[in-house]
Amino acid sequence: MFVLFRLFQGSTIAIITMFVVQSAGAACLHDTTVTKLVSGYPTNPISGIPTDLSLDDAYCTQAKYVALLRKKMGEPVGYKVGFTGKPTQERFGIPTPATGVLFKPMFIADGGTIERDFGYRTVIEPDLMVIVKDAGIMAATTELEVAEHLTSVHAFMELVAIQFAKEEKLTGPRLVAINIAATRMVMGPGAPIAATPQFVRAIADMKTLFTDETGTVLHTAPASALLGNPLRVVLWLVEEFKGRGKSLQAGDRLSLGAVGKLFPLKEGGKSYTYTLKGLPSGVIATTVRVE
């Protein structure tokens, strides 16, 4: 489009014509597109999300996507933080962590069973979860202050349906648009969180172990893979929500991001156990069976 500016200098009027270039890039997806995305959740491959979607437009799309999920699943029970490690950010071309929303029907029982083909392109992701004690967490500025407002930490695995076809480029904003592909998940018994410097160090130094039903170790990783300390992920979320005018509440479940690799679910008849070692209260774990 054109914009005309008039410059007054004495009696002379100069008219300057400027071209304002409108972005030809992607924008927040239309309601009809988002409705189609949700209608195929989580079993169908999806299309219609541009590869150049900006993060702002991804969140705008996610808000529509989550609003439709809410009609099926009820009120959210927590939040997911993704891309909490530099390698993951670089892989998906996103410069910052990002958030999604969790619903109760996404959770299956600890030790429960799920079909391998519960969704399109399924993977399992060793993760961590903490539970919010109270809204006072919104005033936290340090890891120790975060610990004061959390009740427990849990071994936690996400069972994700990626939904993008293999030939599709996976980008952070595209995944954010579909709620960071939050699909199914399993949470084990919790360990109490203590607001002490010793606990803050212990949760950062905690070791994670991912094994199958034969006892074969599939992956090990330190919890410090999450921004150096999982409690820093919560701090990031607090600051992010302040900027959005949102607040965490008592009971909110917070998924803190992948601790290591994602593993494709290639076959049924498998069980997976995820164990956390190094907390003052001892070892905790969660298990899921994939049929």
Q: Looking at per-residue confidence, does 19 or 66 come out higher?
A: 66
Q: Give the per-residue pLDDT at 86.
A: 80
Q: What is the mean pLDDT of residues 18-38?
A: 72
Of the candidates 135, 137, 130, the residue with the CA atom closest to the CA atom of residue 152 = 130
Q: Give the per-residue pLDDT at 6.
A: 36
Of the candidates 230, 249, 229, 247, the residue with the CA atom closest to the CA atom of residue 238 = 247
Q: Give the per-residue pLDDT at 26.
A: 67
- pTM > 0.85: yes
What DSSP string runs through 63-123?
HHHHHHHHHHH-SEEEEEEE--SHHHHHHHT-SS-EEEEEEGGGEE-TT-EE-TTSSSSEE
Of the candidates 106, 73, 280, 109, the residue with the CA atom closest to the CA atom of residue 187 = 109
pLDDT at 285 over 70: yes
Q: Give the per-residue pLDDT at 3.
A: 37
Q: Looking at per-residue confidence, does 269 or 89 come out higher?
A: 269
Q: DSSP code of 136?
A: G
Segment 42-91, tens digit of pLDDT: 999 998 999 999 999 999 999 999 999 999 999 999 999 999 988 888 88
Q: Which of 3-12, 170-179, 194-203, 282-291 has the lowest mean pLDDT?
A: 3-12
Please, is 106 exposed, middle or buried when counting C-beta atoms within 10 Å of its C-beta (0-12, 13-18, 19+)?
buried
Q: Give the per-residue pLDDT at 85.
A: 81
pLDDT band at residue 175 using 50, 70 and 90 as cut-offs: very high
Segment 123-155, tens digit of pLDDT: 999 999 999 999 999 999 999 999 999 999 999
Gap between the Cα atoms of 97 and 17, Å rounded: 42
pLDDT at 2 over 60: no
Region 26-290: CATH code: 3.90.850.10
